[in-house]
């Protein structure tokens, strides 16, 4: 007589099923954890990059509301003098003067003046190596304190700004956020502060003197310059006339 097959208890079948399902569940949890980690890494790395790219595009048509330097000086001093003015309301000689003073090859590079960088490295100095585009990037998107991280960020952002902004726009933003004296930001405030005129009425001498204070605005005066600064302003005025004559102002003049 054949033996009747005995059925395995239901509890044993369930425990075996659970034992088989446990590794699969662990694998599923690991896969979800990896996906979550990838999202975190992506947004940690790419989030700031995408945000800066968004600001670059926005600021190509809209004016930056403030900068880190203007904000920090406002906190320190209690208030700053700053009013935005469009490039069309700035005397063309002011645009030429700042280019002659800070970045004579402005129209001929894509954000970096390689020749000036090489010369600065040979002389062991940063003077003259930073272009107007780089200075604009530093002032709008970064901060003043020097560090390798800031220089790396500046190097990455600068060519992107050159892609999305016109040369005239770069100059307009630069002249509106540059510091010309303690608490005096932008060419509109500087024109009134030093000479009592609007930027559109600046003379070649006044424009050259304003450009001459930019490397050290807290220590130089455009309205009462010492003899050496007058000489520097004279050189800038000559340079402004030269770049107009030789075509190096063509990229930002109407």
Residue 8 lies in a domain: no
- pLDDT digits 0-9 by tens, 59-110: 999 999 999 999 999 999 999 999 999 999 999 999 999 999 999 999 999 9
Q: SS3 of 81, please? A: strand
Please tell me whether residues 53 and 152 are part of one structural domain: no
Please tell me whether residues 136 and 72 are part of one structural domain: yes
- Cα–Cα distance, 61 to 49 (Å, whole number): 19
- pLDDT digits 0-9 by tens, 13-23: 555 555 555 66
Question: How confident is the model over 127-156, as a mean pLDDT?
Answer: 89
Q: Residue 117: which domain range?
A: 64-245
Please tell me whether residues 207 and 222 are part of one structural domain: yes
- Cα–Cα distance, 204 to 219 (Å, whole number): 22
Residue 9 lies in a domain: no
- Cα–Cα distance, 169 to 53 (Å, whole number): 16
Please tell me whether residues 98 and 21 are part of one structural domain: no
State which of 7, 34, 59 marks the end of a domain.
Answer: 59
**Sign of the CA dihedral 175, 180, 182, 184?**
negative
Residue 1 lies in a domain: no
Our count of domains for the chain comes to: 2
- Cα–Cα distance, 112 to 182 (Å, whole number): 29
The CATH number of the domain holding residue 218 is 1.10.3810.10
Please tell me whether residues 141 and 206 are part of one structural domain: yes
Question: How much is the pTM?
Answer: 0.83
Please tell me whether residues 30 and 98 are part of one structural domain: no
Please tell me whether residues 100 and 181 are part of one structural domain: yes
């Amino acid at each position: 007589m054949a033996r009747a097959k005995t059925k395995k208890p239901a509890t044993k079948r369930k425990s075996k099923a659970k034992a088989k399902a446990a590794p699969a569940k662990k694998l599923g949890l690991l896969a979800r954890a990896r996906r979550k980690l990838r999202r975190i890494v992506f947004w940690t790395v790419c989030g700031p990059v995408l945000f800066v790219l968004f600001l670059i595009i926005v600021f190509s048509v809209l004016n930056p509301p403030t900068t880190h330097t203007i904000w920090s000086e406002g906190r320190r001093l209690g208030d700053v003098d700053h009013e935005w003015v469009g490039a069309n309301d700035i005397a063309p000689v002011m645009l030429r003067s700042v280019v002659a003073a800070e970045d004579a090859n402005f129209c001929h590079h894509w954000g970096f003046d390689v020749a000036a960088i090489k010369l600065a490295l040979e002389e062991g100095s940063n003077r003259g190596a930073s272009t107007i585009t780089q200075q604009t990037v530093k002032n709008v998107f970064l901060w003043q304190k020097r560090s390798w991280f800031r220089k790396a960020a500046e190097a990455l952002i600068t060519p992107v700004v050159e892609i999305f902004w016109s040369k005239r726009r770069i100059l307009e933003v630069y002249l509106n956020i540059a510091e010309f004296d303690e608490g005096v930001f932008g060419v509109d405030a500087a024109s009134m502060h030093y000479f009592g005129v609007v930027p559109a009425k600046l003379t070649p001498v006044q424009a050259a003197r304003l450009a001459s204070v930019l490397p050290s605005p807290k220590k130089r005066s455009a309205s009462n310059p010492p003899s050496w600064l007058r000489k520097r302003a004279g050189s800038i005025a000559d340079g402004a006339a030269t770049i107009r004559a030789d075509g190096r102002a063509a990229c930002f003049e109407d």
